[in-house]
Structures are given as C-alpha cells and as structure tokens.
Amino acid sequence: MKYTTAIFDLDGTLLNTLGDLREAVNAAITPRGLPPVTETQVRERVGNGIRNLITRCMPDGTPDSEIDACLAAFRTYYNDHLMDYTHPYPGVTELLQALKDAGMRIAVLSNKYDPAAKALIRHFFPRLVDLTLGERPDVPRKPDPASCKEILSDLGAAPESTVYLGDSAVDIHTAQNAGIDAIGVTWGFRSRETLVEAGAVQLADRPYELSTLLLGPDIDALQKAFTSHGFAFTYFATKEQATAYLAQECAGKTVGFGGSITLDQMGAYEALSQTAQVHWHWKGEAPCVNAQIFVTSANGLSATGEVVNIDGASNRVAASLYGAKTCFMVCGLNKLAPTVQDAIERARNVAAPRNAQRLKVQTPCAVDGKCHDCRSPARICRSLVVHMGPPLSFERYEIVLIGEILGY
C-alpha cells in the first residue's frame, strides 16, 4: 500500500453542504434587503473561507463592518442548522470505513471554520476520522500548507506516504504546496476542467474508485469473479506492461480496434503495429470485419465479473459480440465498480457524458455531465450491452486490467 495517510477536504468532497450554506447565507443577507442567493451561486463562491463566501454574496464596496455583521449572522444561523440539508455523498462513508479497516490514518482539512468542521465530522463520520482541522484564528487558510503540515506532524505521517483528496483547485494547490500527492474528485463543487487546470494528475469520478486506487485491487477476488463467468483475466500494474503483453499475444495476427480512449492513451495501436496487422478506423483506416483478434475497452467492469459497454454507432459493441475468435477488453482501474448496477451507472453517467463532451454533440449530458435518458437526435448512448460471459462464438475472451487511471 503506497499511502498510509489520507487527508480529505470536507465541503464538496465528503459532504454536500450546499443546501445549509445557502440557507445560512440567505439568513444573513436577506434581512439587509439583498436578494437571496441560489445553490448554484453558493457552489461558485464557496471554498476560500466563510468570510470570502459572504463577501462574494454582497455588493462590491460593502464596508468591512457590514461584512462582519453578516458573517456573525451567518455563524449564528449555521451553527443551529449545520445538518438540515447536509449529507455525505453516496459511497463516502463506505470509502472511509474501507480505508480505516485497512489501517490508514484519516484526516480532514477544511476552510470551513473549525468548530463547524469538527461538529460535522463527529456527526456524520464518528470514529472514522483521526484528526479534523478547520479554519482557525492566526492560521493561514488553504492553499497555504501550514495546516496540512500540522496534520503530518500530529499523525506522524511522511509526505511521500500521504495523499490529499479534494474537489477544488485550492485542494490541489494545498497538496502541491505541502509536497504531497493529490487526487481530485469530480463529484463536488468544481468541474473536472478546473481540477486539471490546477494540475491534478489523477481524478476519481466515484468514491469506490478511491478505495481501489488507494488500497489496490483484490486481484485474487477479481480473478475468481471473472473466470467464474468464463472470461480469462490478467492484471498489469502499468500500461506499458499491458501494451507489451498485447503486442506479444497479437503478433502475426490481424487485429481490429474498437474506438477507445484507453487504447489511445496506451499507445497500443503504434505498439501492436510493430508485431501485427492492425486496423483502426480512428487512424483513418477501414474497419476490419474479419480480424482474428478484436481489442477494445469497456465503460464499466463489475467486481462481480460482468462487463458493461455503451455505444452509439454500435460497431464497437457489435464486434465485441461476434466476429473475431479472440477479444481483449483492456481497462484501467477507474472502470472497476463494485456491482453490475454500479458499472451501468458509471457507463451512463461518467463515460457517456465525457464522450459526448469529447465529440461536442448537443445533448443534455454534454452540458451537465449527467445522463437524462434523453431523446436527442445527437444521443450517442444507443446500445447498452452487459456481458455476463463470453459470447459462444469466441474461443478466447480476456479482461486485461491495468492499475492506472485510463480512458473514460
């Protein structure tokens, strides 16, 4: 296990606090004749401490004395209504429990004022968090690394074995300033693009992905699950190892590629072209309908042994169902979900929206990143296939899992 300590942001990472923040801001500003703010506005303005949130919700040039009065009113209301609407994001409690069970030390570092941060952690995650630090007098807020380094010292944690997890650029910069690794989470208050621009190298779309990334996959259990369904199963720690394996297994054969960001990120086409006759329509070639081997990826893998794919033109899923005698399904750890229902949810609400954005199609999911089961003419999720076992026409059907984040 690479990491022994995990430091989490609070708002937008562990808890969805927008509803209570909105109510508290409005309780402070509307008695002063200001229009109420929406949850969307709070989402855009939160993250750098409560005073900054209040300031951003008031007219430019508001005197400090008026901001101080609103801040006091906010605290009074918020202290009594911390948990009216606030709730953990789905899967977060299970994530913390899994990390705790594995022996990891868990801390929370927030720009929320300290008493509120501690009260929320005590209520929602009792016995799961070892140390919580919020905004305190005379201690600089994130992204200053002072509080992060204090956590390292108090927990006896080494920077190289500590990871910071958060939903904002502030969190990524905090980790960078403290000299520790960071993983951005995309379910919170900020966009994927914001996290990437801040320098996030790794992103997680669901809490269960963090469990796999931090603790590593249970290879024996996955081997048993997929082979019990009739699939072959191999695991490689890196994409380079997996690519070398595929090049060896495909040597001298005709190989068809299905559209796949994963394969593109691996450089698989270029590598396999050295040993095999490869056909990929993404490279301007005609699809090979009589390939001996079909290589593609999946939108979701279930830890219970199923494979999930969504497709638009459906040539990719069609070739995974019939045609070649061998199929390799190549996936990064981010594709691995606990159940087949989770894998389907991932395909619909992670993979499909991101592909819609990549292709610049005019669908609702391309705007907000969520499946609407729309009837748009531009809809690209037109086939949903759940592989419960290899199709009977295949002689070999192999899941190749890679211990990295790859594709959508």
> Percent of the chain having pLDDT more than 90?
89
Q: Is residue 116 part of a domain?
A: yes
Predicted pLDDT at 350 = 94
74 and 107 share a domain? no
CA atoms of 256 and 258, how far apart (whole Å) = 7
Least confident of 108-112, 119-123, 188-192, 272-276: 188-192
CA atoms of 329 and 307, how far apart (whole Å) = 9
CA atoms of 131 and 324, how far apart (whole Å) = 55
Q: 290-309 in b/e burial notation, b at 16+ Cβ within 10 A?
A: ebbbbbbbbbbbbbbbbbbb
148 and 123 share a domain? yes
User: What are the tens digits of pLDDT across the range 76-119?
Assistant: 999 999 999 999 999 999 999 999 999 999 999 999 999 999 99
pTM score of the predicted model = 0.89
> Percent of the chain having pLDDT more than 70?
100
Check whether 215 has a pLDDT greater than 70.
yes
Q: State the pLDDT confidence band at 287, using cuts at 50, 70 and 90.
A: confident
Q: Which of 184, 215, 246 is the last residue of a domain?
A: 215
Q: State the pLDDT confidence band at 277, using cuts at 50, 70 and 90.
A: very high
Q: Is residue 265 part of a domain?
A: yes
- Domains: count for the chain: 3
For residue 337, the domain's CATH number is 3.40.50.10420
Beta bridge partners of 11: 15
249 and 394 share a domain? yes
Check whether 332 has a pLDDT greater than 80.
yes
Predicted pLDDT at 284 = 85
239 and 159 share a domain? no
Q: State the pLDDT confidence band at 47, using cuts at 50, 70 and 90.
A: confident
In whole angstroms, how far apart are CA 362 and each of 40, 297, 300, 365, 376? 22, 25, 24, 9, 8
Q: State the pLDDT confidence band at 37, using cuts at 50, 70 and 90.
A: very high
Predicted pLDDT at 50 = 84
How much is the average pLDDT of 335-358?
Answer: 95
Average pLDDT, the chain: 94
Predicted pLDDT at 290 = 87
395 and 277 share a domain? yes
For residue 37, the domain's CATH number is 1.10.150
Distance between the two ends of the chain, CA-based, in angstroms? 25
Q: Is 9 a catalytic residue?
A: yes
How much is the average pLDDT of 207-228?
Answer: 96
How much is the average pLDDT of 342-367?
Answer: 94
205 and 276 share a domain? no
Check whether 195 has a pLDDT greater than 70.
yes
For residue 95, the domain's CATH number is 3.40.50.1000
What range defines the domain where residue 30 resides?
18-80
Q: Is residue 407 part of a domain?
A: no
Predicted pLDDT at 333 = 95
235 and 191 share a domain? no
312 and 295 share a domain? yes
193 and 263 share a domain? no
Predicted pLDDT at 1 = 65
Q: Is residue 408 part of a domain?
A: no
Q: Which of 187, 215, 243 is the last residue of a domain?
A: 215
154 and 174 share a domain? yes
268 and 313 share a domain? yes
Q: Which of 162, 187, 215 is the last residue of a domain?
A: 215
Classified as helix, coil or strand, 255 is strand
Predicted pLDDT at 46 = 85
Predicted pLDDT at 48 = 77
Catalytic residue chosen out of the listed positions 9, 11, 167, 205: 9
- Token pair in block for residue 327: 């199929």
74 and 95 share a domain? no
User: What are the tens digits of pLDDT across the range 151-166?
Assistant: 999 999 999 999 999 9
DSSP string, 107-171: EEEEEEEHHHHHHHHHHHSTTT-SEEEEE-TTSPPTTSSHHHHHHHHHHT--GGGEEEEESSHHH
